[in-house]
Structure 1
Amino acid sequence: MATVAESTDALQQQNLSRDDQTLLLFAGLMEGGKEDDETVRDLDQLTKLLNDDVEATSKGQSSICTVIDGDCVDTLLCYLDMRQQDVVRGHATLATSAYLKASGDDGSKKLSEFFYDRVKRGTYDDYIVAFCVAGVIFPIVPDLTAELFLSEGFLPSLGPLMRRKWKSRKVETACLEMLNAACMHTACREGVQKYCLEWLEEVVDQDPEEVVRDMYAANPDVNLEEGSISMRRHSEQVQHLAAVVLAKLKATQPPKSTTEITGERVEQATTSIEDLSKMFTKVLISNPEQGRQSSVEGLAYASLQPQIKEDLARNKDLLASLVKTLQDAPPKSPLTYGALSIFVNLTRYQPTQSEEEKRISQLKAYANAAGKIQPQPLNDDKHVAARCKRVFEAGITPVLVSHSKNGSVASLTLIISIIFSISVTTSLRGQLAQQGAVRLLIDAWDSLPATETQTKRMAAQALARVLISTNPSLVFGGTRPVPQSAAIRPLTSLINPDPAADTRDLLPTFETLMALTNLASTDDDTRRSIVRTAWTDIEEQLLSPNNLVTKACVELICNLVQGVDALQLYADGSVQAKNRLHILVALADAEDEGTRSAAGGALASLTAYEPVVQAIVSRERGVENVLGLCADDSEDLRHRGVFVVYNMISAEGETGRLAREKVKQENGVSILTECAKKSRRAEVVEITVQAIKILIEQV
């Protein structure tokens, strides 16, 4: 006769109905005594049946959930018990999620019945299962679990349970893991604050060794074994978990409690967020293997506080331990996410505010502080920059590069945020490039889905910052070079301001234009790629109301016209080319010196071509603007202006003749003569003299 396991193996070969397959799988799960891999296989097949059931019922078929009774649900949920192997719990979680999705209200009802029944029984074993189930399903069905969690009398009952004289460490651990998960829900967090705060502080404050000494003093013959319910003290693991829950409460809302403590304790515990942070720090430095996960999770919340950020960032041993923790953490694990969250908190700058937003913030501060504005100095740019430098010096970048290769979208978002903040500091950008940040940012931008718009923009802006301050030939060289062309699409995606932003932030536009300018100084292939990818967007920024953006845009064009593709856009003699040239000539007369210089540099290259000279001569004030460069106080600008004039009047044929006449009409000889007198550099004087000779000698 075939065993249940053998029958389960043959499910795919048998022509069984979906209901029969479901019942057979549950029979195997109820059987017990099997190897973990067999249990995992059955759970996976059940998950598949339940996932397929959603589609089947949408087509009018009956649901397999009709054959899943309370005993079946009880069997499935018991595999979420913390005493199961982690691999079994993980696959049981997927199966439970699939069941709740497929079963709808009926599944919610059965889950509620299971929870209330187990809590009502009140044995240690039932508490463990109920708490474990609640902790696991909180992220899956938060509203339903919150309803169970906040049911009348449940939260107040936890204090007496945790204060029992004989401790069950598994019950305490399961309870605290449930509370930890519940703190993600606002109403549940408030409930925990109201009913559990004081006994949580009792757990954290208890000195285990002192408890043991008191017990020996009372009864020297007492036998203290390390069993589940053998001692009157909380374990260190339980204390760490309680500390994590406390950290979440204290980091996210002001303390408040209406719980009254019975017994001998009179003075209320006042464990501060600083005390908790020191506890987590001590564990990570001195004994990381014992409490790494809980300490990292606790610090992820504690580090939301400005003072805690400063304390953590100044502790070199802790930063080294956190970097090592992140380095050893498995990809996509809670430990990875927690460690990354700490570094994000340490390095995050305050968002840029418009003048209107600053004014509103001040008004709110007046209202909240009775007329006193109380800014938080530890969150200002100076302090954040110092923290970023310390985090970078701890060796975070290579670890981030490693994790980025296998990370989830969530962890990749955190990694990009850290690099983004560090890249604000100009002096660190070259080292970021050396340690692999450029490839990280390009690969992240390429791999992130289109829906992650803000994260992609953040990656592109961090990339722009690094490329502004580094030599492209060094960044894109080496033994495993990143193609320079790979950076162009991320960079050009930032040229237009974010359409989804409430305020118009032009800093990303400015930084990406500067980075593209740097790249455009290298070779024709790069210039060609920039022109073909983003020329229309680049032209739009020429007319930006922001002078810095306009200047950066003209500087980029100055480099682009060294290549054939951009050159043709100005020199093909078309109406569009003339219009473009008119804008460039007008910018040669801009108020900003940098803009005039860039426009003059571009014209110095373009005026080597006859159609460009013709367009300038025919444009009203075209020659006048060029001669204005020759009269500028800056010798660099005079050099560029004289070079443009020399190109124009040296043109052959009718074009050259018209250019010379126009320059003379605009008092060009006098302006050039004065330019020669003011200039001190030989190359400027030489070309000016040559231009004057051409104007005098030729008609």
Structure 2
Amino acid sequence: MASVSTTAPNAHTRAMHNDLGREDQTLLLFAHLMEGGKEDDETVESLGKLTKLLNDDVEATKKGEKSITAVIDSDCVDTILCYLDMRQTDVVRGHAALCTSAYLKAAGEDGSKKLSAFFLDRIQRGTYDDYIVAFCVAATIFPIVPDLTSELFLSEGFLPSLGPLMRRKWKSRKVETACLEMLNAACMHSHCREAVQKYCIDWLEEIVDQDTEQVVESMYTTDPDTATQEGSVSMRRHSIHVQNLAAVVLTKLRLKAVQPDQAPPDLSDPSQPRIQPATTSVEDLSKKFTQMLIKDPEHSSQSSVEGLAYASIRAKVKEDLAGDPQFLKSLVKTLESAPPRSPLMYGALSIFLNLTQYRPALTDEQKRISQLKAYADAVGKLQPDPLNDNEHVSARCKRVFEAGLTPVLVTISKTSSVASLTLIISILNSLSMTPSMRGPLAQQGAVRLLIGAWTNLPEGDPKNMTVRRTAAQALARILISTNPMLVFGGSTPINTAIRPLVHILLPDQTVDTRDLLPTFESLMALTNLAAVDDDTRRTIVRVAWKDIEELLLYNNPRITTAAVELVCNIVQSPEQAEALFADTSKPQAQTRLKILVALADAEDAATRSAAGGALAALTGYESVVKAIAERERGPEIILGLCEDDNEDLRHRGVFVLLNMVACEGQAGKVAREKFLSKNAVEIVKTVVTRSKRREIVELAVQSLKLMLGKE
């Protein structure tokens, strides 16, 4: 190793630190780290500076500079890796992990060799301290360099050696904990998971199934002198924490045996084996985790939550968890008290996501393919689990909501990571599927949360595109079913919801399958907002009119209907009615009016109704009356509404008719003449005799008088 001073840098040295070359800075930092006995904040500061030097080194070497890793020998690497020891504080371990990652990236193959040598050397030494450090290092670097770590993990003889270590008469809880944390991380790698299944499953089962009372009783029976051996009882049985960790590892192994969405085997089926292997099932493990979280959340929440985050992928486990109100309340409390951006918070959110997640909606083509697959799978008895159908998921969502989750989601969203916020949005999206929960969701702050999430997630990041669309869709669903006047105000003006809704107006062009549900729900929500006031209508038109106009002629009747309903509410604003339709001197206004009149003759009754409502507002303008009257089929279409079997449509038809025949000037005269030439008198008389609603009869009678000149 290069010679370094072991004297702590004084204030003058620290002041001159930045004036030194990169290699000298590196050596000084290692000297500081090797001393030990420092306060955590000093250690963290040194690790942070070293991490920065290593990160900068990657760019420096690209420019032809010499890498600082040349002065980092095995002893230096040992120093960094030993700070990953579980006996260090979490903040030190976290900075050491960042530093290790930066070093491995900067040092390349040489760094991998030094890491391998460190791990193998510690394992060969075989002391408890060496095992602890080696296992902690392996657990930390698995996600950083999975290929290298899996190679070490799968080295000959390593996994088989763990069984005797874990079965030793005298237990070291730190060794056991470090070992199980390593196995837990390793299970994320498919080959490592298979190896753990092969070599470790038996002793993992033994740890999970250990009855501590039986262990103690057996010890006194076989060794009466136990009572005189201080500490021997606790040292000869696995701790609860170790049992919990073993259960988490076992859960990950068990989940790979059967696909999560498959129904359990039918034991009445003669093709199934009559004797099932006596193993701890995922369902058994989930019950263990559930009880742990309820009875001892302070000490077992991390392992319980991690285990359930995996176990709750199974449909049967989902049903059991959602059917336990005490567990749901405990999990809500755990989430509420979890540190921001912590694995505990993410794990608890993952459980709630699993409980509330619906199967993805399928297109007709996808449904057909799914049916074919189901038919093919029938031979192998691999049918989708019915506990994951919409009815069961909806019931689970209701129970989760009733446990008081929403206010907690609102609170933690303010300090959540992007990953946790993504889960929060997905959970709210599922809860919003149930119409009866939308109002309470809005009252508990979900609207403000979703608007804030959509606004704050970086727009340019491709990873956030789907999340932002999901947030906007959940917002749309809630706003469809709630009174905007009760939702908005104060720090959340109504206009803040418009841009997220407009974001999903047009189908997502980046995916192969075109999903029109977000478009439909966005239109419905905007329609609800457009009923509030002219300022809101003005904002909608300014931000979204181009897209709304395109959707008026969309090749889907439900989309067209929703778009016309939105236009109907928009034109209740005189300003927007005049600008968009009434100024018929502009070709665009003429075209829009023609489209609206044509839609009043659409096959779909809801579309005709919406178009009729819009024309009822627009025919208050003389220019609109003239344009409709002079159109070849304009009067016929209006009379068609008057003849409709639906009384609501007849009401709209005679309202438009009265507006047109009551219009003053040349436009009114032309309208009356056109209607008379289309047998309007007989049609309106029929309306009078057919209609039961007084307001329709009164409007029809007034129209007759005007057309016959008796007014």
Where do residues 281-292 of structure 1 align in structure 2 (5 Å cutoff)? 281-292=290-301
In structure 2, distance between residues paired with 1:198 and 1:276: 15
In structure 2, distance between residues paired with 1:513 and 1:238: 54
Residue 99 of structure 1 pairs with residue 110 of structure 2: no
Q: Which moved more, 1:150-159 or 1:433-442?
A: 150-159
1:8–1:42 contact (8 Å) kept in structure 2:
no
Matched AA of 1:598 = A
Which residue of structure 2 lines up, in the alignment, with residue 568 of structure 1? 579
Q: Of 374, 378, 381, which residue of structure 1 is paired with 2:383?
A: 374
Give secondary structure in 1 for the equivalent of 2:300.
helix
Q: Of 590, 593, 598, which residue of structure 1 is paired with 2:610?
A: 598
In structure 2, distance between residues paired with 1:361 and 1:118: 52
Q: Of 686, 692, 699, which residue of structure 1 is paired with 2:698?
A: 686
State the Cα distance separating 1:372 from its structure 2 match: 5.3
Which residue of structure 1 lines up, in the alignment, with residue 124 of structure 2? 120
Summarize deviations over 1:100-141 as a string: whole Å, max 9, x none: 122122211211111111112222211111110010111222
2:577–2:618 contact (8 Å) kept in structure 1:
no
Which residue of structure 2 lines up, in the alignment, with residue 236 of structure 1? 240
CA distance 1:375–1:324, shift in 2 (3 Å): same
Summarize deviations over 1:609-661 as a string: whole Å, max 9, x none: 12222221232211111110011112221111111112222223222222112
Q: CA RMSD in A?
A: 2.0
Where do residues 48-447 of structure 1 align in structure 2 (5 Å cutoff)? 48-222=52-226, 223-226=228-231, 231-254=235-258, 270-370=279-379, 374-447=383-456
Summarize deviations over 1:292-318 as a string: whole Å, max 9, x none: 100000000000000000000011110
Which residue of structure 2 lines up, in the alignment, with residue 523 of structure 1? 533
State the Cα distance separating 1:565 from its structure 2 match: 2.5
In structure 2, distance between residues paired with 1:78 and 1:253: 36
1:100–1:108 contact (8 Å) kept in structure 2:
yes
Residue 44 of structure 1 pairs with residue 48 of structure 2: yes
Which residue of structure 1 lines up, in the alignment, with residue 498 of structure 2? 488
Which residue of structure 2 lines up, in the alignment, with residue 455 of structure 1? 467
2:47–2:95 contact (8 Å) kept in structure 1:
yes
Matched AA of 1:568 = A
In structure 1, distance between residues paired with 2:431 and 2:146: 36
Which residue of structure 2 lines up, in the alignment, with residue 22 of structure 1? 26
Summarize deviations over 1:195-254 as a string: whole Å, max 9, x none: 211211111011122112111111111255448x97221111110000001111112334
In structure 2, distance between residues paired with 1:237 and 1:690: 84
Matched AA of 2:407 = P
Give secondary structure in 2 for the equivalent of 1:596.
helix
Q: Which moved more, 1:184-193 or 1:10-19?
A: 10-19
Give secondary structure in 2 for the equivalent of 1:554.
helix
In structure 2, distance between residues paired with 1:269 and 1:166: 28
Give secondary structure in 1 for the equivalent of 2:448.
helix
Query: Gaps spanning 5+ residues in structure 2: where?
Result: 260-275
State the Cα distance separating 1:12 from its structure 2 match: 4.5
State the Cα distance separating 1:692 from its structure 2 match: 1.1
Give secondary structure in 2 for the equivalent of 1:367.
helix
Summarize deviations over 1:427-462 as a string: whole Å, max 9, x none: 111111110011001001111122311111111111
Q: Of 618, 636, 639, which residue of structure 1 is paired with 2:651?
A: 639
State the Cα distance separating 1:688 from its structure 2 match: 1.2
Task: State the identity as a percent.
Answer: 67
Summarize deviations over 1:32-58 as a string: whole Å, max 9, x none: 122222211111111121122122222
CA distance 1:640–1:224, shift in 2 (3 Å): farther
Summarize deviations over 1:527-572 as a string: whole Å, max 9, x none: 0111111111111111222222111111100000112135411111
In structure 2, distance between residues paired with 1:226 and 1:308: 38
Which residue of structure 1 lines up, in the alignment, with residue 266 of structure 2? none
Matched AA of 1:214 = S
With normalisation by structure 1, the TM-score equals 0.95
1:198–1:269 contact (8 Å) kept in structure 2:
no
Q: Which moved more, 1:195-204 or 1:649-658?
A: 649-658
In structure 1, distance between residues paired with 2:591 and 2:200: 72
In structure 1, distance between residues paired with 2:626 and 2:635: 11
Give secondary structure in 2 for the equivalent of 1:697.
coil
CA distance 1:19–1:591, shift in 2 (3 Å): same
Give secondary structure in 1 for the equivalent of 2:708.
helix
In structure 2, distance between residues paired with 1:18 and 1:7: 19
Matched AA of 1:619 = R
Matched AA of 1:166 = W
Matched AA of 2:500 = P
1:517–1:559 contact (8 Å) kept in structure 2:
yes
Q: Which moved more, 1:449-458 or 1:652-661?
A: 652-661
In structure 2, distance between residues paired with 1:373 and 1:274: 19
CA distance 1:456–1:115, shift in 2 (3 Å): same
Give secondary structure in 2 for the equivalent of 1:369.
helix
In structure 2, distance between residues paired with 1:698 and 1:494: 53
Q: Of 598, 603, 608, which residue of structure 1 is paired with 2:620?
A: 608
2:453–2:471 contact (8 Å) kept in structure 1:
yes
Residue 630 of structure 1 pairs with residue 645 of structure 2: no
Give secondary structure in 2 for the equivalent of 1:10.
helix
In structure 2, distance between residues paired with 1:616 and 1:194: 80
In structure 1, distance between residues paired with 2:28 and 2:308: 46
Q: Which moved more, 1:420-429 or 1:564-573?
A: 564-573
State the Cα distance separating 1:373 from its structure 2 match: 6.8
Aligned length: 685
1:498–1:505 contact (8 Å) kept in structure 2:
yes
In structure 1, distance between residues paired with 2:280 and 2:202: 10
State the Cα distance separating 1:697 from its structure 2 match: 1.2
Matched AA of 1:244 = V
Which residue of structure 1 lines up, in the alignment, with residue 272 of structure 2? none
State the Cα distance separating 1:268 from its structure 2 match: 7.4
2:18–2:25 contact (8 Å) kept in structure 1:
no
What stretches of structure 1 move > 4 A for 4+ residues in a row? Answer: 11-14, 223-227
Query: Gaps spanning 5+ residues in structure 1: where?
Result: 256-266
Summarize deviations over 1:502-549 as a string: whole Å, max 9, x none: 322211111111110000000011001111111111111112222221
State the Cα distance separating 1:682 from its structure 2 match: 2.2
In structure 1, distance between residues paired with 2:161 and 2:331: 37
In structure 2, distance between residues paired with 1:33 and 1:268: 53
1:224–1:230 contact (8 Å) kept in structure 2:
no
CA distance 1:71–1:372, shift in 2 (3 Å): closer
Give secondary structure in 2 for the equivalent of 1:4.
coil
In structure 1, distance between residues paired with 2:279 and 2:143: 30
Q: Of 510, 514, 520, which residue of structure 1 is paired with 2:520?
A: 510
Matched AA of 1:422 = L
2:208–2:243 contact (8 Å) kept in structure 1:
yes
